[in-house]
Structure 1
Amino acid sequence: MKLKFEPCYRAALAALFVLLVWSVWSGAQAATTNAPPAAASTNIAPLVPGLSGIKEEYLTFGLDRVEFLDRHRVFGEALWKYLASLIYIFLAFYISKFIDFLTRVWLKRLAAKTQTQFDDLLLELVHGPIKVVSFVIFLYVGLGIFRWPPGVQVFLSKGLIVIVAFSITYMVLKLVDLLMGYWKQRAVREEDKSFDEQLFPIVRKSLKVVVVVVAVLVTSQNLGINITGLIASLSVGGLALGLAAQDTLANLFGAVSVFMDKPFRIGDRIKIDTIDGTVEAIGLRSTRVRNLDGHLITVPNKTMGNTAITNVTRRPNIKSEFNIGITYDTPTEKVKLALKLLEEVYRAHPMTCDLIISFNKFADSALNIFVVHWWNGLDHKAYLAGMQELNLEIKRRFDEAGISFAFPTQTVYLKQDSAWHVGSEGPPPRVT
């Protein structure tokens, strides 16, 4: 649900006014005395040093010179103070709206001149909070020139801290929503957006929890609250939770690393240790891979972050390395012919993108021709069918040229003693 700022803004102003009246009344009750009213000039407090050089009648709008307003008191304070405060509230409200208007106009002009979305996000981000911050600052300046009771002065100082902290926190939370929305728009174009949709709510809520916790701690510290014990409690609780959910957190961080690095997508064929298969699903705890035998294997995500992953699908083409052996009794001219025939057969196929052919060695039982072939495509079924066509064509061309393929053979020579024959004494000759 989208948080609307204007209702919160008005509610904060109403709460501020109620607390201000309550603080004045409390301060007046605590400072009850029979002393005569102080002179008007003593009602100006040097709380705002930058205004110390301005004449008092300008700061009080001359209301302190009106005898009726100075003589009548409400909760122990002169009536003119309340009227002057209402004027300052009125001025602060409209000055803040004017600053917000100028900011939006300037940002709209800036956004119209650029092609990036950053300034559009900034325009949406600052609208609202800048109004509250400027309102509170001008209100603090206006009310801070009067000598209010100590309770009211403390309220003004701490109220400024709380409202500014609220506005900054709201801006950061809105920034999180904007960034997550931009991330989600990009993820719509991804093939494995199902994993992104699982990760969106967790990341968004986690970031917001961190922002709120940090805002509460910083605001509490600025209000004079000792947060050392609270931080220690959070640290101990976080340590206990981390130890209890160690494997779960490891799998979650593994899922985040898979998302950020994207070593594979759904549908990719990958190799992890002894696993070779196609990715079917990527979850927050595990990744499911169906191997070539049809079995579905569940791999914990922490394994994905600590193991080398071979993405077979991401290769630019399919490379094959193999040897073709021809018999040793093949004449040199036919060896050259064999090289030529192989070159012609492979080059003639439309899916051949590169080729290396070399008569590279004399093997144990064959004249070895080394072939490196690059198939211009990623479909493994089409690759197997194409290699079958190539092999059949090579077999046909070699048969026509009278070139024989070699196979492992072993020649056995018998050295036989002519004096030995069937019926002779002693063992037969040894076969070597």
Structure 2
Amino acid sequence: MRYVLLGNPIQEWATALAVAFACAVLLIVIRTFLIHRLDAAAERTETRVDDWLLRMMRNTYSVFIVILALYLGSLMLEFPKKYEVWLWRVAVTTMLIQAAIWGDTGVRVWRKRYRQAAIGGTDSVATAASTAIIDFILRMIVWVVFTLMILDNLGFNITTLVASLGIGGIAVALAVQNILGDLLASLSIVLDKPFVVGDFIIVGEQLGTVEYIGLKTTRLRGLGGDQIIFSNGDILKARIGNQTRMFTRRAAFILRIRYGTPPDKLAAVPQMVKDIILGQESTASFERAHLRELGEWSINYEVVYWIKSPDYFVFMDTQQEVLLNVIRGLAERGIEIAYPTRIILRPPEDCNEGNPPLH
């Protein structure tokens, strides 16, 4: 007696199952072989390609292999056209889901390697925020694209869907244009890196250390301990001074000498200041010391020099030592530092009454 199931004899079903089993075993063996070879290659090389392929092979799930093997076995059978179409759609959908998982895995591997490469660097903390933003966008694109491909494979009219999404997207974009602007600004910060987490920056009248770079906001820790929050769009529109990226610091001050100082002593002041500045270990270079102007109540010298370290405490320590030595040098030479004075004169009638004039 000949048994028939869905229009195919039982012998052909047995053949189809045997083919499916053989394909499944062959695919699993190939996956295991590739994992073994790629694992060995990843330990020997520094390239990222073998790491990506290794993670993708490890994320090739057995359930997808089984479904693909069953489809290959079904090719040995004869089915009505409707069944063949659905078998094809199931197989393609399975492969698309697996491809989406591979794409998602590739993005994750890139994020991990990027973070590892930045460990120990000056922007290692900022890498977490940077990669989180890019990782989110890339993974969203991967899953949206493959979801549309799966829907198209299942027979849905994605042209209408995409058009509807486009119209809806325009409406949503108009409604949340500020949020989208901040999102794009965050990408600009991540890719262009005008500053990173840990940098001390000045934005307009606000200054502080960058604590967090998010999808919408960037947060600073101010000198007073308060947290200053900027939207990413606003912070890019402002002038940003990044103090952390200085290699040297410029130091300048005005030295005011009292009127009545002899000219020969005034002429010796620039050389004295130069010798004091060059005597500091932290000084990178001496730029100038000139008699700048004759002020209302003092003779003014302008002094400019450069400090090797960008560290603010080194700057203050050096400036303090220079100023103290300048005061000592002026005192040794008998040169007085000027300070503003005010003379108040009493009216003549008050002086006639026995009150002396005030100075």
TM-score range (shorter-chain normalised) is 0.7 to 0.9
How many angstroms apart in 1 are the aligned matches of 2:44 and 2:8?
54
Task: Name the CA shift for 1:166/1:353 in 2 (closer, same or farther; >3 Å).
Answer: same
How many angstroms apart in 2 are the aligned matches of 1:246 and 1:151?
47
How many angstroms apart in 2 are the aligned matches of 1:243 and 1:212?
24
Alpha carbons 1:288, 1:299 under 8 Å: kept: yes
Alignment partner, residue 82 of structure 1: 13
Task: Name the CA shift for 1:117/1:355 in 2 (closer, same or farther; >3 Å).
Answer: same
Residue in structure 1 matching 2:60, options 106, 123, 129? 129
Q: Which has the larger radius of gyration?
A: 1
| Superposition deviation, residue 231 in structure 1 | 0.8
1:268-347 counterparts in 2 under 5 A? 268-279=199-210, 282-289=213-220, 297-324=228-255, 330-331=262-263, 335=267, 337-347=268-278
| Superposition deviation, residue 310 in structure 1 | 0.4
| Superposition deviation, residue 230 in structure 1 | 0.9
Residue aligned with 1:310, SS:
strand
- One-letter code of the match for 1:233? S
- One-letter code of the match for 1:176? V
Alpha carbons 1:158, 1:223 under 8 Å: kept: yes
Identity %: 28
| Structure 1 gap segments, 5+ residues each | 1-67, 410-432
Alignment partner, residue 248 of structure 1: 179
1:113 and 2:44 equivalent? yes
Residue in structure 2 matching 1:219, options 121, 144, 150? 150
Alignment partner, residue 391 of structure 1: 323
Alpha carbons 1:328, 1:367 under 8 Å: kept: no
Deviations 1:226-250 (A, max 9, x none): 2111112222222222222222333
- One-letter code of the match for 1:214? V
Alignment partner, residue 307 of structure 2: 375
Residue aligned with 1:373, SS:
strand
How many angstroms apart in 2 are the aligned matches of 1:313 and 1:266?
11
Task: Name the CA shift for 1:96/1:375 in 2 (closer, same or farther; >3 Å).
Answer: same
Alpha carbons 2:134, 2:187 under 8 Å: kept: no
| Superposition deviation, residue 116 in structure 1 | 3.9
How many angstroms apart in 2 are the aligned matches of 1:295 and 1:187?
29
1:26-41 counterparts in 2 under 5 A? none
Deviations 1:322-380 (A, max 9, x none): 45466797546862x43332222112122212212354x77345887553211233443
Task: Name the CA shift for 1:358/1:176 in 2 (closer, same or farther; >3 Å).
Answer: same
- How many pairs are equivalent? 338
1:173 and 2:104 equivalent? yes
1:155 and 2:90 equivalent? no
How many angstroms apart in 1 are the aligned matches of 2:332 and 2:75?
106
Task: Name the CA shift for 1:268/1:147 in 2 (closer, same or farther; >3 Å).
Answer: closer
How many angstroms apart in 1 are the aligned matches of 2:180 and 2:35?
42
Alpha carbons 1:357, 1:372 under 8 Å: kept: yes
Residue in structure 2 matching 1:232, options 158, 163, 171? 163
How many angstroms apart in 2 are the aligned matches of 1:188 and 1:271?
26
How many angstroms apart in 1 are the aligned matches of 2:225 and 2:18?
78
Alpha carbons 2:265, 2:335 under 8 Å: kept: no
How many angstroms apart in 1 are the aligned matches of 2:240 and 2:60?
47
Alpha carbons 1:195, 1:283 under 8 Å: kept: no
Alignment partner, residue 417 of structure 1: none
Q: TM-score, normalised by structure 2?
A: 0.76
Alignment partner, residue 415 of structure 1: none
How many angstroms apart in 2 are the aligned matches of 1:193 and 1:358?
42
Residue aligned with 1:391, SS:
helix
Residue aligned with 2:244, SS:
coil
Alpha carbons 1:100, 1:130 under 8 Å: kept: no
Task: Name the CA shift for 1:285/1:187 in 2 (closer, same or farther; >3 Å).
Answer: farther
**C-alpha RMSD over aligned residues:** 3.9
Alignment partner, residue 354 of structure 2: none
Alpha carbons 2:100, 2:142 under 8 Å: kept: yes
Task: Name the CA shift for 1:217/1:282 in 2 (closer, same or farther; >3 Å).
Answer: closer
Residue aligned with 1:129, SS:
coil
| Superposition deviation, residue 290 in structure 1 | 5.5
- One-letter code of the match for 1:242? A
Task: Name the CA shift for 1:351/1:236 in 2 (closer, same or farther; >3 Å).
Answer: same
How many angstroms apart in 1 are the aligned matches of 2:152 and 2:47?
38
Residue aligned with 2:250, SS:
strand
Alpha carbons 1:286, 1:298 under 8 Å: kept: yes
